[in-house]
Chain A
Amino acid sequence: MVVRIRLARFGNKHSPFYNIVVAQARSARGAKPLEVIGTYNPVPKRPTNLYDENPNARPYKEIALDRSRARYWLGVGAQPSDPVWKLLTMAGLVKPKPATYLEKNV
C-alpha cells in the first residue's frame, strides 16, 4: 500500500485547519496517521498595518513543517497529494508538478 503525505482536516465549521500527515493511502482522513509532520492554516491572516513599514503587504498563510521528516518520507517514496505537493514545492522540497499532468487533471 502507498504511503501518502496529505492533509487531515481539523478545526471547526467554517474555520478549517489542517495537519500535514504521513499516512497509509487507504486509511481514513481522521484516523491516527503514521506521523504528523506539520500544520497548514488556510485562513489568510491580514497584516494589521500597525507596525509594518510596507503598506501594501499581502495577507499571508501560516505553515509549520518538519523539513527533515518531510525529506525523509519523500526519500522513501511517500507520495504527496496535490495540495501538499504545492506546499512542499514552496518549501523547496520537491520540484513543481509537471504542467501537463496538472492540466490533464484539472
Chain B
Amino acid sequence: MRNRASNTLSKGKIRQSWSKYNLYNLQRFRSPPTASRTFFQQKWTAKALARAYHGEQVREGQWKRMFSRRIRSVVPMNTLDLAKDDGSETSAGRGSGLKTAEDPSPSRRVPYTNMAFAPLERRLDVAIFRALFASSARQARQFVIHGAVTVNGQKMRHPSYLLNPGDLFQVDPERVMFATGAPKTRFERRETRQLKQKDQKEDNDEAEAEPEQEAKEAKEESIEKKDENVKDTLKALISQAKTIMSKDKSVLPAKRKQELRGFQKRVRAVLSRSATSTVLTDSLEAQFSELTLALKAKRAEPAPKEGKKSTKEQPSEQEAAAASQTENTGDKLSEAFQKAVEGEEVDTSELSDEEFDVLRRALTQMRDNPIDHSKPYSTPWCPRDYMSAFAFIPRYLEVNQNICAAVYLRHPVARPGLAEVPSPFGETVSTPAYGWYLKRRW
C-alpha cells in the first residue's frame, strides 16, 4: 500500500507518528470553526480530521464495516456504596433519589463519542504502535508484513488481524530498538561501512585460503610468529593507552582525542576478528566521562548545604575543598574503571561503597548497552528525539518492554471522565465524527 499519509505542514493533519512534523502539527492544531458552517460541513471536516489520525491506513469502506455504534463503557463501583444502599434509596421519592444534605461529588460524564474509533484499536498494527514498539502505525504495519511480529507465539503477517482479549503479541527487540532509537550519526555510519568492508575482505581472504589447505602445514610456523607479533603490538598499544588515560581524563583536548581514536583504530586492526573487544574500548571514552561528571554532580550537591549549616562566612573555601576531594575520588574511580574495562583485576579497596556502587552500575550499563556498529541504530542506544512527547501506554495493553511483548487485555472502554482510546481530538471533533458514521449513507 502506498503511503499517502505524509506529515505535510501545509495540510496540518495529525497522524499516528512520532515525527517532529507531526508534533508541530499537533501543537498548532485548533478545533475547526463551527460558526457559519452547516451541520453537514462540520461533520465532514471532523470526520476527515479524525480519520487522518485513526486508521489512516484502513480504507474507508473497511472502516465503515468495522464501525459499531455500540460503545463499551464501565463504571468503577464503590463497594461501600453498594453495601450501604440496596438501590431503594436512589429510587425513592419520585424516582430521582432522596435528597440528602451533602450532595455526593458531581458525577462526571462518560465521553462516549471519544470512543468512536475504538474498533481500530484492536488492529495488530495499531496495538504495536500503542505499545510503543514502533514510531508510527505505518512502521508497525511494516514490521508485521516483514514477519517480525508473533501473536501467541506464531508469526502473524496480517496487520489487520484483530486482537482478541488475552492475545500476546511480540515484536523482534532489534526492530523495536531500531524504531525507537536515535538514528546513526555520520561518524557511526562511516564506522559501519568500514566494518562491512573489513568483513567482506576477510570473507574474500578466507575464500582464497581454502584451496590452499595443503600448503597450510608449511605456513604454520609463520602464523605462530604472527601471533607473537600480535601479542607484542597489543601490549605496546595497551601501555600507550595507559599513558594517554593516566593524564587528565575529564577534559580531553582535541589532540588527545585524536590519539585515542587512532589507538582504537589500531586495536581494531589487530583484533579484527572480534567486534566485542573494540566495543569496550570505544565506549570507554563516552561513558566514562559521563560517569565522572555524574559523580561530581552527586558529590557537589551536599557540599553547599554543609557550608550553610556551619559558617556562612567561608562557604567558598569549603566548596573548593569539596571540589578537590571529588576530583581525587574521580581519579581513583577512573583508574578502577580503566582496569575493569581492560579486563584486569580491580583493586576496590581504595574506593568507598558509593563509588564502588557507581562503578558496578556503570559496568552493567556498559554490558547492557554497548557500542556496536553492526546495529542499525546509534549505539549506545538512546531514545529518538521527541519520543517522550508521544510516550504513553493505554491501560488495555499490558506491556513488557524487556522482551518487547504485550498482552491485549480487553477492549478499550470509556469510564466517567475518561476514554481509553488515545486521540488528539476533543469532543468538538469526535462528536461530529461519530455522528457522521452513525448515519448510514452507504
A79–B153 Cα distance when bound, in Å, is 41
Once A and B bind, how many residue pairs between them come within 8 Å at the CB atom?
8
- CB-defined contacts of A46 to chain B, threshold 8 Å: 154
Residues of A in contact (CB 8 Å), total 4
Check: B168 CB closer than 8 A to any chain A CB. yes
- CB-defined contacts of A50 to chain B, threshold 8 Å: 152-153, 168
Majority secondary structure of chain A interface residues (helix, strand, loop or mixed): loop
Give A44 Cβ to nearest chain B Cβ, in Å: 13
A50–B154 Cα distance when bound, in Å, is 9
A50–B152 Cα distance when bound, in Å, is 7
Check: A100 CB closer than 8 A to any chain B CB. no
Check: A12 CB closer than 8 A to any chain B CB. no
A48–B154 Cα distance when bound, in Å, is 6
Give A15 Cβ to nearest chain B Cβ, in Å: 15
Hey, what's the 0/1 contact readout for B150-188 against A, CB within 8 Å counting as 1? 001110000000000000100000000000000000000
A48–B152 Cα distance when bound, in Å, is 7
Q: A24-51: which have CB < 8 Å to B?
A: 46, 48-50
Among B152, B153, B154, B168: residue with most chain A CB under 10 A: B153
- CB-defined contacts of B154 to chain A, threshold 8 Å: 46, 48
A49–B168 Cα distance when bound, in Å, is 13
Q: B204-227: which have CB < 8 Å to A?
A: none
| A47: nearest chain-B partner, CB-CB | B153
Interface residues, chain B, with chain A CB atoms under 8 Å away: 152-154, 168
Q: What are the nearest 4 A-B pairs in CB distance?
A: A48-B153, A50-B153, A48-B154, A48-B152
Interface residues, chain A, with chain B CB atoms under 8 Å away: 46, 48-50
Would you list 8 pairs from A and B whose C-beta atoms are within 8 A, ordered by A residue? A46-B154, A48-B152, A48-B153, A48-B154, A49-B153, A50-B152, A50-B153, A50-B168
